Amino acid sequence: MDSFTEQFSRYFSREVAERAARSLSDGAQMEIRVIDQETFTFTRQGGKNVIIPGPARSPEIIFEFDAEIARKILDDPTEDIGEIGIHLIKLLTSSQGGAKMKIEAGFLSLFSRGYFGILKVGGSAFASHLASHGLSGMGAIKTALKKLTKD
């Protein structure tokens, strides 16, 4: 079986993933940790999604998943950006645990790196889902992000 790094490399090279991440600046970095398995870096280089084995040098966001959650992400067949985002939010907020997200960068860094563009391409279904959880504007999103930032 392929490593999680290899599987996520294929996952992020899909056309839908490239479209979702198009707003991110080259050099944007997210670290993805599959607990007790692997750590790898998602970044943008030359306008393309790239997966690099090992921890990120300067991650703006860190995701931590157990192997079961990682498989649920990889096995989701949808090609709709908004539905992928909703699925990820549900996994991150599930009472079952197994998924965490930590923001390492400040609001302005996230904004300047293009992370908020991902919210826009999620479309109306994704926006409605966020609004149903009280995240209907940038102020609410900024407040929620502060809860996820490092101390």
Helix or strand run (H / E) with residue 103:
strand 99-103
Q: What is the pLDDT of residues 96-145, one digit of tens each?
A: 889 999 999 988 899 999 998 888 898 888 888 877 877 666 666 666 66
For tokens 């997210």, name the residue.
Answer: 30
- The answer to whether 108 touches 100, Cβ cutoff 8 Å, is no
Q: How far apart are CA 24 and CA 51, in angstroms?
A: 14
pLDDT at 151: 45
Q: What is the pLDDT of residues 1-13, one digit of tens each?
A: 799 999 999 999 9
Question: Considering the entire predicted model, what is its pTM?
Answer: 0.88
Q: How far apart are CA 89 and CA 94, in angstroms?
A: 8
Q: How far apart are CA 131 and CA 66, in angstroms?
A: 28
Question: At the fourth CATH level, which superfamily is domain 4-148?
Answer: SCP2 sterol-binding domain (3.30.1050.10)
Q: What is the pLDDT of residues 10-46, one digit of tens each?
A: 999 999 999 999 999 999 999 999 999 999 999 999 9
